[in-house]
Amino acid sequence: MAETLSHDMKTLNGTLRTFEQSNDPTQLKDALNIMRAAAQKAQGKTPRKLRDSPQQSPEMQQYRHTYDKLIQQIDEALALVEQGQIDDAKKVVNALKITRDIAHKTYR
């Protein structure tokens, strides 16, 4: 059975909580990799609010661009964790939460 957009969002948010509660580099990397995979899956799906929009519409393009930004932020945090800069990675993830919140207001 194909996973729904809602499932991908729950995975992203649950793993975000795991990331926030840990300082262990291995756990942080694992959480970020799971978040990245969930964001990539969600990017290919259509939110309920845009179901009637053509795939190439400006709204759908902006929706996908939002996921590009999320994935970029996840990659940036992952690179920082790999360099041992945990506090900086957590700051990037805080910025990611702002991106997520804006997207929720727009597409939910």
35 is in an annotated binding site: no
Cβ distance 82 to 29 under 8 Å?
Answer: yes
CB atoms within 10 A of CB 32: 28
- Is 104 among the annotated ligand-binding positions? yes
Q: ∠ CA(68), CA(73), CA(41), 5° rounding?
A: 45
Q: Which residue has the tokens 């649950």?
A: 14
Which residues belong to the annotated binding site for heme b? 9, 104
Which residues belong to the annotated binding site? 9, 104
